[in-house]
Structure 1
Amino acid sequence: MSTALLLAEPEPDTRGFLERHLKSDGFQVVDGEARPDLVLLGNSAGLDECRARHGDVPVIVLGEPESDAVDRVRALERGCDDFLVRPFAYEELLARIRAVLRRTSPAAHEVRRAGPITADLATRGVKVARVPVALAGKEYELLLKLMTDPTRVFTKEQLLREVWGFRSLGRTRTLDSHASRLRRKLATAGAGSVVLNVWGVGYRLL
């Protein structure tokens, strides 16, 4: 079954170009009524609406030419999975689509467990005991990373690099804000004290 992409691109020429080539590369381009496997979003202004409508489906934002590092960081903080500035080469977009799909689509059905928390990698469903927890895309990816070794302290640099793909870290509250929201959602579902901040180092799950 081909991968379903929602192409939310307002510019007709760009949309036509991308739709033609994506179909040639084996993707199914769907409309907004179907649930896609990935969304290509024409600008970051529609990110919140996209999340509200499609949940934790992976999103790549196609940013405007004047987009700078601040725009990219803000979009990532709001939950997009990648950000590509126009003009871009189609080959690079295709590589990024495949990379995001590899990160977010497990090859086999797997359920990861840590304490009372379970994460179903096939459905991207998270539960605390039997209570479902709705997570945004990067909150989910951060949780999965912490679940790989629940008592290990992951450094902030490592998490920003491996979850967000940051090459140059600089000063950003991206990780802290996502960790705070993740902690609050899990605690509300009954997980207790989790996503622990080890001051000056990073985070551990348990």
Structure 2
Amino acid sequence: MLSQFKRKLACIDYKSIPRKSIFLACLLSHAALAAAPASQQPKTAWYRYYDSKGVANISTSVTPNHIRYGYEALDQNMQVIKRNKPYNAEADIRQAPKRAAQARQIESDAKLKRAYNNSRTAALKKNDALTQINKQLAFQQDQLKQLQNDRILFVRQEREHFRKGEPVPAPLKAMLANNQKNIVAKKDYIQSLQNNYRTTAAQYNSIISRLKAME
């Protein structure tokens, strides 16, 4: 259809047509070209780049030098279809850490989305996790209190032997030493649970914030 339109325009005797009509015909011609299907649009036939000396290099495929210097895509009539900027290795290297961090962030966000689906689910899991830690804390603190009460009893027995001028029995010494060891271990474990509580809360707060940002 487009080729028929061009042939008709070529056969017209423009000398016998007013200028306004010629102008209108030109507009129609441009409109027809613009409306042509994509299959009739110019296709890339050549790739041209200019090296450091300004010499033009043309080929039918893109080479590393094309990418290095930047290149133009040309049609069969050597008309520029598209221009591509030169590859900047230094800029690419500078951006590499940022791209890597972004990739890790995207991957991490995707894992969070799969694990929690939304911030509300994460908040529920946070409450469950902290509740379990609190239960452990309460249990360990009760055991510590019992150990401390036992120590008070053992110390009283030890002092009674001192008051009477009697040697402290070996079993009592062993119970005192074992009791002190258990109290220290229990306090350390309680401290570990408290640290775990704070860490878990902070981790879930971060997860919830990230999920809210994605919602």
Pairwise TM-score range, normalised by the shorter structure = under 0.3
Radius of gyration: which is bigger? 2
Structure ranking higher in helix proportion:
2
TM-score by length of 1: 0.18
Structure ranking higher in strand proportion:
1
TM-score by length of 2: 0.18
